[in-house]
Amino acid sequence: MKQSQEQTCLFILSGEHETLPQAELCAILEAEECRYKLKGHYKRVLLLEVDPKGAKIATERSGLVNHASVVFFESPAEEAQILDMVRNCDFTRWIKPKDRFGVKITRIQREPMAFDADELASKVGAQIWQMLSGKVTVDLTKPDVLFLGVINGNQFFFGLYLASRDRASVFQRRSPLRPFFVPSAIHPKFARVMVNLSRVKRGDLLLDPFCGTGGLLLEAADIGCVPLGFDIDVSILMGCQLNLKHYEVPFSGALADARSVPLRSEGLNAIATDPPYGRSSSTKGSEVVELIHTSLDVLANRLKRGGYLCLALPDKYFEKEIIPTDRFVIVETHTMRIHRSLNRLIVVLQRQ
């Protein structure tokens, strides 16, 4: 299956946050050194001009991008027009004789439609089968080639399915399923988002200087990075080691204060961390603002110039100028509502 280097690709974004899914996707593409150009952004649908190989890798690596596909055509969400557009596609580019293929149609929004999505998928499949003179087989269970239609309000997109994110493995790393956990631990899918926002490359070190129970380290390892963790609390660090061992991830790190991490200057490309600030978190008597501000100042020396640091913290601390802006540029911020009295900010910093 040969393709031109860059094509219009569609991404179905998770509806769990307004801005994080797109930011995560773009950060992964930057980490993978994959060029992209924004073509359109609709409710939970993002269109990019990008290499399909990069689109596939980014989706499989992501925490909040549901699916990706190459777009053949866009049309109004009307059955007659969709079937007419299908008849104008050259499917021999994608299907070889004796291949098994399937057609799946998914809806983003739930407005009433004049047709049934499953029935439309059957009609599209039959149309493709006829166009290929019956030399292929329809197989929805294990198709060699899957075509994906996306209904988004009154829009319809159709093309070649590329990839989905791995929800099952992320689900298996939830806190209650780990040997050691604390209630305040960040959910694995958002830990993965933070790792991805750090623009870490596969094979590179990812440092978490407040590693806690190891949530970010587990996600870094799962996408092919080398996790490195420090924590000042020996019992928490032992729990982190236990968790990593449970998921067969080698532990690298030590008992250490984030304000004096034992690493050489400018040796890291990426840091992601969720510092302690809740009642159940240990700061060893340090005031939270001072702890984070001093730690960031020290960590700036450990990052290479141009390297990224992704940080989670309550918005009330961000307002107190906790970021040493003489060392970092604030690239982006995202607000997550935790409960009525707490909003958590995800902040991406770049070393100057």
The pLDDT of 335-351, averaged and rounded, is 89
More confident of the two residues 298 and 109 = 298
What is the rounded distance in angstroms from the CA atom of residue 261 to the CA atom of residue 242? 22
Query: Which of 146, 189, 147 has its CA nearest to residue 170?
Result: 189
Contacts of 304 (CB under 8 A, 6+ apart): 266, 267, 268, 269, 351
Domain borders along the chain are: 7-164, 168-351
Classify residue 263 by its DSSP letter. -
More confident of the two residues 174 and 286 = 174
What is the rounded distance in angstroms from the CA atom of residue 175 to the CA atom of residue 320? 31
* Residues 168-351, CATH architecture: 3-Layer(aba) Sandwich (3.40)
- pLDDT by residue (tens digit) across 89-140? 999 999 999 999 999 999 997 777 778 999 999 999 999 999 998 899 999 8
Burial class (CB in 10 A: 0-12, 13-18, 19+), 97: exposed
Q: What's the mean pLDDT when you consider all of the chain?
A: 93
Structural tokens at position 90 = 């050259």
Which pTM does this prediction carry?
0.93
Which CATH code, of 3.30.70.1350, 3.40.50.450, 3.30.2130.30, 3.40.50.720, is assigned to 7-164?
3.30.2130.30
pLDDT at 281: 52
- pLDDT by residue (tens digit) across 308-317? 999 999 988 8
